[in-house]
Amino acid sequence: MEQINVLSKKRVELIDITSQVRNIVKRSGIKEGVCYVYAPHTTAAVTINENADPNVIIDIQNHLSKLVPFDGHYSHAEGNSDAHIKTSFLGCSKNILVTNGDLLLGTWQGIFFCEFDGPRNRKLHIKVIAG
């Protein structure tokens, strides 16, 4: 298992981590299996989506903010309930197939760390298992 450190610069930010995860898969030497990407945080998520057009990420951020606004009159006193809800929507982990020693992603797909309560220094755990 390896760890990736991610430094977010904004409160809400989707950060492309595809190349970092891909490098871990290559270093593992595993040719066929599964790569697990896990964020051990309650206000940060992991998603897979298009990484060719940056407007897709902007649209995702904007629509999530409309669905779950920052000032939604929540009960949680810490002031970051929207971040917890957005994280629950997207999930804290993804499993990606590994084939021929590389991530099996579609042409336009990338892996994103989703910060919803930044800026912060975060970590992701990556585990590649043969299978």
Tell me the mean pLDDT in the region 67-88. Answer: 94
> SS3 sequence, 41-56?
CCCEEEEEEECCCHHH
Sheet of 2-7: strand order equals: 2-7, 121-130, 33-38, 93-99, 102-103
Domain borders along the chain are 2-130
Q: What is the pLDDT at residue 76?
A: 94
Mean pLDDT of the chain: 97
Q: What is the pTM of this model?
A: 0.96
Name the CATH superfamily housing domain 2-130. Answer: YjbQ-like (2.60.120.460)
Positive or negative CA dihedral for 51, 52, 58, 63?
Answer: negative
Tokens of 79: 């002031």
Q: What is the pLDDT of residues 78-112, one digit of tens each?
A: 999 999 999 999 999 999 999 999 999 999 999 99
Q: What is the pLDDT at residue 77?
A: 86
Q: What is the pLDDT at residue 36?
A: 98
Q: What is the pLDDT of residues 35-55, one digit of tens each?
A: 999 999 999 999 999 999 999
